[in-house]
Homo-oligomer: A and B are copies of this chain.
Amino acid sequence: MSEKGRLIVVSGPSGAGKSTVVFKAIEGRKDMCFSTSVTSRKARPGEVDGREYFFITRERFAEMIENDELLEHAEYVGNCYGTPRKFVEDKLAQGMNVVLDIEVQGARQVAGKMPDAVKIFVIPPTLDELKNRLEKRGTETEESIAGRLTRAREEYAEADFYDYIVVNDTVDEAARELNAILLAEKCRFQNRVQYLREI
């Protein structure tokens, strides 16, 4: 397996079931992994550096931005989070497909720096179904559900730069779609044109 891997950017509204679909899709696949982010926040008990996150200082974080060492970054509740370019590029060079589970704004940043990334938007079959799923969690207030639905509508409105839409009706079918997308991408003309150039 000497082929270079692909960067797979996965976005979608909270409650669409992105992570479940991705975990199902990569189950048993040795050629796929998640990206590990860097963060300036302190490690919580039980968190391991390089597993949940790479834990770094604010100064190092600023330096990484400065040196263009991050594919994207954002601040959230006073802490910085980012995707380290070298980590991703090393995995890709090893032939791994790297999955980035990320919001639309971050996805746009990544796509700007990695134009070959496959961009996938995971959605529930309907917004009503999204509401059902959020309610079933039992941990969300009516207000936070309303907020998430508003956010989902905003994300839908700016989703037009994704290559694919995976509809998470059932997890198995959505995972099958995700894997089909990866295989089809391998077959795309520009990714296989070397077979024609042998002559």
Contact = CB atoms under 8 A, between A and B. Distances in A.
A13 B71 CA distance: 42
A163 to B, nearest CB: 6
Contact of A187 (B159, B164, B196, B198): B164
Contacts of A127: 198-199
Interface stretch (A21-29, A34-42, A79-87, A172-180): A172-180
B184 A164 contact: yes
Contact of A165 (B153, B156, B183, B196): B196
A123 B193 CA distance: 11
Interface in A160-199: 160, 162-167, 176-177, 179-181, 183-189, 192-193, 195-196, 198-199
| Stoichiometry (number of copies) | 2
Interface in A1-37: none
Contacts of A176: 183
Contacts of A57: none
A187 B183 contact: no
A94 interface: no
A120 to B, nearest CB: 8
Contacts of A186: 177
A189 B160 contact: yes
